[in-house]
Amino acid sequence: MFHGKWHYNKVRGQYEGNPVKSVDVSDTVASIRHKINAEGSQCTHSAAMKKEYMDRMLTWTASTCQLGIAFDYLHFVMTGLGSAPTVGTLDKEAWLSITPNIEHLTFCAVAFTIWTRNFELIKMKCGDITTEDINAVNGVFLKYLRGEEKSLTINDLPVYFEIHLSNQKGWQKKSDKGARNVHLRSASLCFSGYHVWTSLHSPGNHYKIYLHPDMGWACDPFFWVLFWMNWVKYVHLGEAMGAEEFLFPVVGKTTGVLRPGESLLHDQVQKSLDAAVEGAEIPEKFSMHCFRRGGIQYWFMSALLGKRWSLHCVRFWGQTILLPISNDTLMHYLLDELHTYETDYSDVLAPMSQEATASFAGKAVLLRPATTEALRMAHAALTADMATLCKDVMTSQTAMAEDICQRLNNVTNLINNLALASTPGLGTLASPQDTNSHHHLSGLTANHLSFPRATVPSQPPAFPLQPMRPPAGTQLPHAVQGAVQASEPSPSTTNTMVPSPVLAAQLNLTVSLQLPSVAGAQRTANELPMGLCTLHIPTKLENGGRTPQLESWREVVQHWTVGEPRLHLFVALKDWLHHYYNGRHGHKFNQLYHQRGVIAKEFLHVFEENKEDWYRAYGHVIPQGHTDLLETIQGTRKCHPNAGERCCFLVNGDQGDSPSAIE
């Protein structure tokens, strides 16, 4: 009755057939389709991602989630140099957004480089990324972190890692037809030389990713893949990702927890892409083919002169496994776009028109001889830039000279004041009982240091000298600090004559100044990570005593859950990363961390913070301290490994009485 065309049966006096096939429904569907495509069917296709769009998305991302903190932190944990970045200025939402943004930037860089659709890349696993020399790869990556990617040597350029893309469109269909054991290693993209190597095998799905510093960070998958994998290792997992774990896993939006066993969904990738496009104010609409189309068009039309690929090269590099790109697809991706570019005369009013129709992709504009007008404009621009540069250099030199002069004046006045204060006939230095402790020279008197009377010149020096405080960061000896503070002029003596620097040479006085090191702060071998320390229990109280042994287990739980800022334990033990207690300081933390974890987890997880059951199970040993409690817990675990069984046995077995101190 409901099959076939919808029509009216005059014999039966009723309508029959499928209502969906009625004329009204067909007219409505056709009207909707015409409405959607009213302005052209091109609007339904994804725009091609451009390199400048990639750069704009990176700039916007860096401004919203402060990628600089992530760079500094990763450099700190990988090298141990410098100091840990301060994250106190970041709120929770900003901190949780760093990982998803790094993952999105890595995804975009890889997709733009190997020309994948979004749904193909989300299934990539960490085991698909391999290298023959991990030390060389890490060495180059550290140069990136130090900002030295522009100064890589010729020995660094051949370094690469390899990506195996096994989830390309059409592969499963060809596999079902029997093409399972075909060797597919054939294509490799050389970023250092910008050429493609071929082999005698079938077109492949193995890509060699070389250094790509001149393309900028946004389009450099060598940097982003290594940064993402190391970020996950040191920040989230505490160890390297497994071979069967997804390279682009799901990250909890509210918790920031990374689940390496679950891959991103296509909708999540599209949502992140839409947010970045909107934030970067890009007037285009992108979908799953945007990176594939954009990468192909860039290397065919938009790359630098001499580095553009031929149509044959593009066809080879962009083919899927055993299924080359069809001619229709190439026409749509490349030739249609090229025709639009070469017939565009919108720049005809420009001082130098591109004249795109004169050569392939406007190549002639870079090869034709320069005109007199163009040379005049270039000379004017160069002259203006040189004038600006000279002005900036002179300003910088003036500021530097003033700073040096101030520092010299500071040291000169310091030495002169020391000499005048200790010269016989001008009085002795005050004792600590007569002046404030920060205005004396630690017991030095005129009997300890004696100088000949200095001859003060009758004329002021040729250059103005004003007593000033030492520059910020300079640490003077305690004795010198008092002289500096005592020698500061009052507002009524601003015109006081300052002795000449020659006086310092006449006195032949040597003062040791502890200036800051120009090499910057570096971690020493014995320095503990910031915010970490080992606390011995019972802890020491402010009144000098120690907490009773009965409360030791409470301190263990507190240190595990919230820390103890009073004793400089700013990071709770449960929040410690893996390398905190297993890295270079493992011998200081590992054993204590494990012991505290056994007690805390027993109370928090096994007994679920039920103090009544806790005292019923371990009340007989709690007054003896946390050490005996630890041994009892470990012994009980051997007999009853299962947590639920152990809790039931201890609670119902009357192991100990509950003290009256239960709160």
Per-residue pLDDT of 589-607, as tens digits, reads 778 888 888 999 988 988 8
Look at 3-17, 279-293, 622-636 and tell me which has the smallest mean pLDDT.
3-17
Q: What DSSP string runs through 201-226? A: S----EEEEE--GGG-GGG-HHHHHH
Structure confidence at residue 169 as a pLDDT band (50, 70, 90): low
pLDDT of residue 105: 93
The tokens for 499 are: 């002795």
Res. 339: pLDDT tops 90: no
pLDDT of residue 655: 53
Res. 323: pLDDT tops 80: no
- Pick the closest to residue 210 from 230, 186, 226, 228 (CA basis): 226
Structure confidence at residue 55 as a pLDDT band (50, 70, 90): very high
Per residue in 545-596, pLDDT (tens digit) is 787 888 888 888 988 888 887 777 878 888 887 777 776 666 677 788 888 8
- Phi, psi dihedrals of residue 166, rounded to the nearest 5°: -110, 5
- Pick the closest to residue 293 from 332, 338, 341 (CA basis): 332
The tokens for 310 are: 């031929």
3-state helix, strand, coil in the chain (%, to 5): 50, 5, 45
Q: Is the Cα dihedral 125, 127, 133, 138 positive or negative?
A: positive
Instruction: Report the pLDDT averaged over residues 88-110.
Output: 82
pLDDT of residue 36: 62
pLDDT of residue 223: 92
Res. 484: pLDDT tops 70: no
Stronger pLDDT, 303 or 662, i.e. the higher one = 303
Structure confidence at residue 353 as a pLDDT band (50, 70, 90): low
Per residue in 92-101, pLDDT (tens digit) is 777 788 899 9
Element (H, E) at 251: strand 249-251
pLDDT of residue 56: 93
Please state, in angstroms and rounded to a whole number, the distance separating the CA atoms of residues 451 and 587: 55
pLDDT of residue 505: 38
Stronger pLDDT, 521 or 7, i.e. the higher one = 7
User: 481: number of CA atoms within 13 Å, CB side?
Assistant: 10
Report which residue type is found at 613.
Answer: D
pLDDT of residue 354: 56
Structure confidence at residue 453 as a pLDDT band (50, 70, 90): very low
Please state, in angstroms and rounded to a whole number, the distance separating the CA atoms of residues 499 and 460: 8
Instruction: Report the pLDDT averaged over residues 632-653.
Output: 82
Please state, in angstroms and rounded to a whole number, the distance separating the CA atoms of residues 405 and 290: 59
The residues spanned by each domain of the chain are: 7-44, 50-170+208-288, 291-368, 375-507, 549-652
How far lies 657's CA from each of 193, 624, 647, in Å?
77, 14, 15
By residue count, the chain amounts to: 663
Res. 178: pLDDT tops 60: no
Instruction: Report the pLDDT averaged over residues 20-30.
Output: 81
Instruction: Report the pLDDT averaged over residues 441-447.
Output: 36
Res. 483: pLDDT tops 80: no
pLDDT of residue 566: 78
> 318 near 299, Cβ under 8 Å?
no
Instruction: Report the pLDDT averaged over residues 227-240.
Output: 90
> 168 near 120, Cβ under 8 Å?
yes
Please state, in angstroms and rounded to a whole number, the distance separating the CA atoms of residues 619 and 613: 9
How far lies 571's CA from each of 70, 193, 295, 434, 563, in Å?
19, 48, 45, 46, 6
Percent of the chain scoring above 70 in pLDDT: 62
The tokens for 312 are: 């044959």
pLDDT of residue 1: 58
Structure confidence at residue 217 as a pLDDT band (50, 70, 90): confident
50-170+208-288: CATH class: mainly alpha
Please state, in angstroms and rounded to a whole number, the distance separating the CA atoms of residues 589 and 594: 8
pLDDT of residue 530: 54
Stronger pLDDT, 567 or 60, i.e. the higher one = 60
Q: Report helix, strand or coil for 23.
A: helix
pLDDT of residue 333: 57
Instruction: Report the pLDDT averaged over residues 9-30.
Output: 82
pLDDT of residue 224: 92
pTM of the model: 0.46
Look at 104-113, 328-337, 590-599 and tell me which has the smallest mean pLDDT.
328-337
Per residue in 403-414, pLDDT (tens digit) is 898 888 888 888
Element (H, E) at 393: helix 372-421
CA angle 273, 98, 248 (to 5 degrees): 60
pLDDT of residue 373: 74
> 300 near 294, Cβ under 8 Å?
no
Tokens 């090269």 identify what position? Answer: 313
Percent of the chain scoring above 90 in pLDDT: 9
The tokens for 535 are: 């606390």
Q: Report helix, strand or coil for 639.
A: helix
Res. 358: pLDDT tops 80: no
Structure confidence at residue 367 as a pLDDT band (50, 70, 90): low
Please state, in angstroms and rounded to a whole number, the distance separating the CA atoms of residues 423 and 418: 9
pLDDT of residue 506: 40
Structure confidence at residue 212 as a pLDDT band (50, 70, 90): confident
> 310 near 338, Cβ under 8 Å?
no
Res. 336: pLDDT tops 80: no
Structure confidence at residue 496 as a pLDDT band (50, 70, 90): very low
pLDDT of residue 537: 80
Q: Is 535 left (phi over 0), alpha (psi -120 to 50) or beta?
A: beta
Measured in Å, how far apart are the chain's first and last C-alpha atoms? 76
Structure confidence at residue 110 as a pLDDT band (50, 70, 90): very high
Per residue in 115-166, pLDDT (tens digit) is 888 788 888 999 989 988 888 898 889 888 888 877 777 778 888 898 888 7
